[in-house]
Amino acid sequence: MQEQNFGPVVFREECVFKREIRFADEISISTKISKMKPDASRWTIEHLLLNQQGKTCAIITVDGAWIDTKLRKLRNQLPQIAMDVLNSFPKSEDFSEI
């Protein structure tokens, strides 16, 4: 990304806590894209924090986009490799294009 002069920019990050997490708990994180523009320029990623019983402890939702690091402006045109990675990323059950 540094060579291609782009990187992520976060507009909003929200965490909803569902149940207590204790210090000794083993937590796994499941990450999926829940919304994305067809050109992958804007997206929403959802992180589910699950305890060892598979119960959701927290949901972190992040809305973001891509910025041109030289121009300091939002970028709509991404390198093909970035598009390929984002399009292969797991999608949530309620995924929608925005």
Q: Can you give the pTM of this predicted structure?
A: 0.89
Q: Which domains does the chain have, with CATH numbers?
A: 6-90 (3.10.129.10)
Q: What is the predicted pLDDT for the residue at 79?
A: 87
76 SS3 class: coil
Below-70 pLDDT ranges, the chain? none
Handedness of CA 50, 55, 61, 66 (dihedral sign): positive
Q: What is the predicted pLDDT for the residue at 33?
A: 97
